[in-house]
Structure 1
Amino acid sequence: MQQQLETMLAMQDRMNTRVHPEWRAQNFAWYRATWIECAELLEHYGYKWWKRQEPCMEQVRLEVVDIWHFGLSMLLQGDDDHAALAARLAAALESRAPATEDLRLATEALAAEALTARRFSVTAFRDLMLTAGLTIDDLYSTYVGKNVLNFFRQDHGYQDGSYRKLWAGREDNEHLHEVLGSLDRGAADFPERLYAALGERYGAGE
């Protein structure tokens, strides 16, 4: 777990630097992005008692990984020692019974920390991760996939607005999920293969 966490921290640091070279000095509102992602997660899971809703767990788990991006960023904001930070994260993420088995309540607990304390609670995130059915290995492989997609977005005009999020009528996250299922996530060149596969689909969707 330690190595996986160090890898994710390094990748997040690179992604943030890609968006803004001096990102630590910008004091971006990571906490706000966190609670908004929590709301998006609940949209995919369902909360409307007045209509029929079926949870889309694939999208729920992708939202959990999106939340992790912002959580890592908030933690990296004040600590650039990846090894030491990874050790602390590993201790907090050790598998144990979550405080609740209700995914809605787990999501709200994490959002509440972001809203009231403007911090990222690793233990609340752990509970959400487990309640959503994700292991640390799942988190790692999906995080790497989403990180590659984020770089792909930046390389194809995400900041200037020219990027197309819909490819052949479907969101890029849906394409990502399909591609992840077709590749060997343990391969040394997994990120490069994923980037190339996304490029093929993006081009075909024009």
Structure 2
Amino acid sequence: MNQIEQMFLLQMQLNDQTNGQVWIKGYTKENREISWYRGIYMEVAEAIDSFNWKHWKNINDEPDWDNIRVELVDIWHFIMSESIRIKDQSYANKHLHMKAKGDYDTDALIASLEKMLKLSVTSSIDKEINNIREITDIFFIIISHLGIDVEDLYKRYVVKNQLNTFRQQNGYKEGSYIKIWGGVEDNVVAFDIMNMNPKITPTELYDELDSAYSKL
């Protein structure tokens, strides 16, 4: 199983744990409609807002590259979920050996993000139009500009996936989950664990999170 296939498996497991297998039919276990496309375009909007696009404010500031990367990993969750829903998860394997440019081409990035936003809004409004393949292709173009290859995407995704799983199993929905650990956010702790041990497995990462949380 390659790293893209592993990410799809982890995403399916997370969705199953969060809402039961009924999510495949487009509903939560509380019978609320799920819109993965809405999730995509809302996260895309947040990514775009991390660029210095406002001509009236801080026009010379650097884009918030760290937050843009975070938003892209969130978008990937939703892309995979919609692909699984329509049983088209194997399509993403075409990008397994993509090369990361790392040119940080701001104009190209914003143009690609806006195209992704348009496609996801279209599919959200018109359920007969499914643009997930084109969105998937654009996603890998975007992360290439950001210097992220599949191996790096896998590491970033595993951190967020296991953290999301941990949150769900420790009272996140109920509001009892503690997000600040020793003065820092839980996602910082999770990334620190990954950075200290890049070869860590998802299960081992979860266990490390559990150990750290138990000491709060």
User: Same fold per TM (> 0.5)?
Assistant: yes
Q: Measure how far apart 1:72 and its partner are.
A: 0.4
Structure 1 residue aligned with 2:66:
58
Structure 2 residue aligned with 1:42:
48
Matched, 1:85 2:89: yes
Structure 2 residue aligned with 1:130:
144
Letter in 2 for 1:106: S
Q: Measure how far apart 1:96 and its partner are.
A: 7.1
Letter in 2 for 1:130: S
Q: Indicate how the Cα distance of structure 1 residues 200 and 48 shifts in structure 2: closer, same or farther if over 3 A, else same.
A: farther
Contact kept in structure 2, 1:17 and 1:23, CA below 8 Å: yes
Letter in 2 for 1:7: Q
Q: Which moved more, 1:11-20 or 1:39-48?
A: 39-48
Cα distance in 1 for partners of 2:49, 2:209 equals 26
Q: Measure how far apart 1:203 and its partner are.
A: 4.3
Matched, 1:23 2:23: yes
Structure 1 residue aligned with 2:203:
192
Unaligned runs of 5+ in 2: 28-32, 125-130
Contact kept in structure 1, 2:158 and 2:202, CA below 8 Å: yes
Q: Which moved more, 1:154-163 or 1:164-173?
A: 164-173
Contact kept in structure 2, 1:106 and 1:131, CA below 8 Å: no
Contact kept in structure 1, 2:92 and 2:136, CA below 8 Å: yes
Which secondary structure state, in structure 1, belongs to the residue aligned with residue 2 of structure 2? helix
Q: Measure how far apart 1:16 and its partner are.
A: 0.5
Cα distance in 1 for partners of 2:207, 2:161 equals 14
Which secondary structure state, in structure 2, belongs to the residue aligned with residue 117 of structure 1? helix
Deviations 1:30-50 (A, max 9, x none): 001111111222344443341
Deviations 1:132-155 (A, max 9, x none): 211011111221221111111111
Q: Indicate how the Cα distance of structure 1 residues 168 and 105 shifts in structure 2: closer, same or farther if over 3 A, else same.
A: farther
Q: Structure 1 vs Structure 2: percent identity of aligned residues? A: 30
Structure 2 residue aligned with 1:117:
123
Q: Indicate how the Cα distance of structure 1 residues 44 and 169 shifts in structure 2: closer, same or farther if over 3 A, else same.
A: farther
Cα distance in 2 for partners of 1:33, 1:40 equals 11
Contact kept in structure 2, 1:92 and 1:122, CA below 8 Å: no
Q: Indicate how the Cα distance of structure 1 residues 139 and 160 shifts in structure 2: closer, same or farther if over 3 A, else same.
A: same
Contact kept in structure 1, 2:194 and 2:205, CA below 8 Å: yes
Q: Give the structure-1-normalised TM-score.
A: 0.82
Q: Measure how far apart 1:97 and its partner are.
A: 9.3
Unaligned runs of 5+ in 1: none
Cα distance in 2 for partners of 1:66, 1:180 equals 18
Contact kept in structure 1, 2:73 and 2:153, CA below 8 Å: yes
Q: Give the structure-2-normalised TM-score.
A: 0.78
